[in-house]
Structure 1
């Protein structure tokens, strides 16, 4: 059995906050990944060692991690108590006696001994699945306790109500790991062989080839069958991209942060990823729908949500996987109003409260804002599809108690405002010009000796690369636009140039340019790495014009 994916999306935020609170610097945060090996997350000796903590030590640990906890709908984990029934002997775990007014620490300790599992493992499992160890206030819900370890909660299916108590969640986890160990042939991921492990429940994200060194690691992957992709690993304890999954990464980082002595013996066997799939789109998004939960993600103008079914959209998540940052979003929620802005991967709206998402606003910053507009529209109850909105405008309604039922979102490429300048014979640097302007001279028989190019603020210089063909030198190396092409102080003519875009921008934009050449005049426009000017003809370039515009769809 595996944990519920939607639950993982939310408890990631709790786990990140909990780990981050104890890690004062980025270097300390990065340190929790030292020794990470996807094929050897923890040794068998450590995982199955039930004697690492007494009940009193567990109690003290929970008290320290929950020192600032404020009770919510349910008590803090350190204060949780319940009558636990007797549990009979099984082929996986020893019998448990009935205990009145049992504490969370007592339950964890008893299950650890009965199922021969390290209690530290159970504590880390609770944290990475539900965040209960550090949860406080509104995070302490009956649902969080009913899904405490994710036992009996398959992805995209309802949780088993027969296991919806805290004691059965902890016991169910311990029992499962012993089941995996006793009958390894029955389960997908096996020890001491190479396994194909998904990055994400969405199989479009691909999988990695991982040599799993031991039964403990195989059990963790059978419980949570996803491995961290490069984006999740780079984020350390934060969030990667749409295709990132965090369960086993967070188990490792929680254990490394809280119980470092248990995390020894990694062989540092490398992860061997399958060919990286192309991201699903420029902007990826998923809707959480009334009565359905999280839908499969869509991208680039496709519909998230439903129409014609009178089902409210309760939450949205958006990712821009081609870029590390630059998307912000916020939602107006029933009985809440406008929420704070969140960045790529954050939740807009709410889940678990049966509240309608009533309005949305999306904005771009930095590189994304220089290259794209964000365009979106909402399908609203009683109204239908509204007109498209752009760049921070409100889609949906406020003050009308109407639900958004569906949304469509896309990034629309736009002309990039570039600036470039020419260094001309006897004149030096001329004033810079903007997109499409003439840099250099015409009708004066003056050679162009060098060119500079500047991109908008927030756009990295290596988004554009170029090279020049210079008299007596030939072709210069390709270099980012932050470096001039041509020469200064040598009296050499620039004879040709080539310019091209890199990365995602090359798929959505085109760089067009042309040269005014000695004895030729203005040549035709060329694009995307083609030659403007001449080579082998000893003719000077006298002026250039350049633009970066959206590709024609």
Structure 2
């Protein structure tokens, strides 16, 4: 059984948005645990102030993070080639990396993985993302923020051995049982998906609830303190389970030597923004108007609605009712009732997305009822019409 392991404290490990790269020295390979410890205590580049838009409670939207089909192997390879057109002489970098992979059976977290005698790094990234339902873009960002593998023309063997920082707790050396690029990538993706408590698993990860303030530390040193963060979605919660620290104000201001600094989750947001665009850009609300009835002069609409940027949060629905005399009434319903409808959209969505309600009509005749799913506050999701239905109303 896989151990659910706390992530090591992560600091800045590579160039950030709009900044010049600092060359990585080529030298003899050192033990992985020593390099991991060194990477945990000091950033390797000078940072600039964080661009506007970083929200520690909303680092990436759920629909972008859990998109296992974001990139195929050819697209991953093209991206890696763009980042490092040529490896350093005599060195294998991620763009040219290959290894043997083993077959893994699927479980409630990840689907099956078919191993091969030789697979490229790009193929492994694409297949792991597809098997576990984690975006290949997110996995590329993870590899960069943990070991600078994506942009490094001269990585060491140890950089590949603990490529994602999985099984590298804050208080001990990395566990060699989980070493190796394929091993690291698979178990990191497995763990990131497991944090969402997918169907078939237990509700083990509940200490960072969505929509409620959670204390998140600034640093492994408890004396550095913490601050409450209201997490808006399960993807952001997963990042904090994996790297349980937030950047303090000095880090956000661009101080590379900030006391009590932690850069990992800020770097995730910056690298994703630089490479793939805004990680919290708006989604399109989803849902269905399943049933409309008239009971004693009252129109009642039922269905489900969801904002994909936060799969577990309950959104609202705007109902517009036009009666036989042309009078228009609007009402807003909270989509928080139990329903299985949203599970058809995404298996991670949970059950709290149903709505039921309506308004009185005073004129007998045909009534048109239309519904739209509204975006969550703090997101830039666009409104999606759920449809319209016409029913006949009898006055009581």
TM-score band (shorter)?
A: 0.5 to 0.7
Q: What displacement does 1:262 show?
A: 3.9
**Inter-partner Cα distance in structure 1 for 2:103 and 2:262:** 36
Give 1:225's aligned residue: 244
Kindly indicate whether residue 222 of structure 2 is the aligned counterpart of residue 203 of structure 1: yes
What are the Cα deviations for residues 120-160 of structure 1, in whole angstroms up to 9, with x where unaligned?
000000000010001123xx112111110011111121212
Matches within 5 A, 1:84-483: 84-137=101-154, 140-182=155-197, 183=202, 185-235=204-254, 239-265=256-282
**Inter-partner Cα distance in structure 2 for 1:215 and 1:146:** 28
**Shift in CA distance, 132/184, structure 1 to aligned 2, threshold 3 Å:** farther
**Inter-partner Cα distance in structure 2 for 1:184 and 1:256:** 31
**Inter-partner Cα distance in structure 2 for 1:215 and 1:19:** 29
Q: What displacement does 1:71 show?
A: 5.1
**Inter-partner Cα distance in structure 2 for 1:175 and 1:251:** 18
**Inter-partner Cα distance in structure 1 for 2:167 and 2:74:** 29
What are the Cα deviations for residues 47-89 of structure 1, in whole angstroms up to 9, with x where unaligned?
10112211101000011111253156x5110000001111111
Give 2:68's aligned residue: 50
**Inter-partner Cα distance in structure 1 for 2:221 and 2:74:** 42
Q: TM-score, normalised by structure 1?
A: 0.43
Give 2:84's aligned residue: 66
What are the Cα deviations for residues 62-121 of structure 1, in whole angstroms up to 9, with x where unaligned?
11111253156x511000000111111121100100112200100000010000011000
Give 2:327's aligned residue: none
Q: What displacement does 1:185 show?
A: 4.1
Equivalent residue for 1:40, pick from 58, 64, 80: 58
**Inter-partner Cα distance in structure 2 for 1:66 and 1:3:** 28
**Shift in CA distance, 214/244, structure 1 to aligned 2, threshold 3 Å:** same
Q: What displacement does 1:265 show?
A: 4.1
Equivalent residue for 2:8, pick from 4, 8, 15: 4
**Inter-partner Cα distance in structure 2 for 1:143 and 1:126:** 13
What are the Cα deviations for residues 160-213 of structure 1, in whole angstroms up to 9, with x where unaligned?
211101001111111011111015543532322210000000010000100001
Where in structure 1 do 4 or more consecutive aligned residues deviate above 4 Å?
none
Contact 1:15-1:127 at 8 Å conserved across structures: no
**Shift in CA distance, 234/261, structure 1 to aligned 2, threshold 3 Å:** closer
**Inter-partner Cα distance in structure 1 for 2:244 and 2:143:** 17
Kindly indicate whether residue 108 of structure 2 is the aligned counterpart of residue 82 of structure 1: no
Q: TM-score, normalised by structure 2?
A: 0.60
**Shift in CA distance, 178/71, structure 1 to aligned 2, threshold 3 Å:** farther
Contact 2:73-2:126 at 8 Å conserved across structures: yes
The structure showing larger relative contact order (alpha-carbon pairs under 8 Å, at least 6 residues apart) is 2
The aligned length equals 251
Kindly indicate whether residue 51 of structure 2 is the aligned counterpart of residue 14 of structure 1: no
Q: What displacement does 1:261 show?
A: 4.9
3-state secondary structure, aligned to 1:106: helix
Contact 1:87-1:95 at 8 Å conserved across structures: yes
Contact 1:181-1:219 at 8 Å conserved across structures: yes
**Inter-partner Cα distance in structure 2 for 1:100 and 1:34:** 46
**Inter-partner Cα distance in structure 2 for 1:203 and 1:71:** 44
**Inter-partner Cα distance in structure 1 for 2:234 and 2:191:** 12
Q: What displacement does 1:240 show?
A: 4.2
**Inter-partner Cα distance in structure 2 for 1:200 and 1:71:** 38
Segments of 5+ residues of structure 1 without an aligned counterpart are 23-27, 267-553
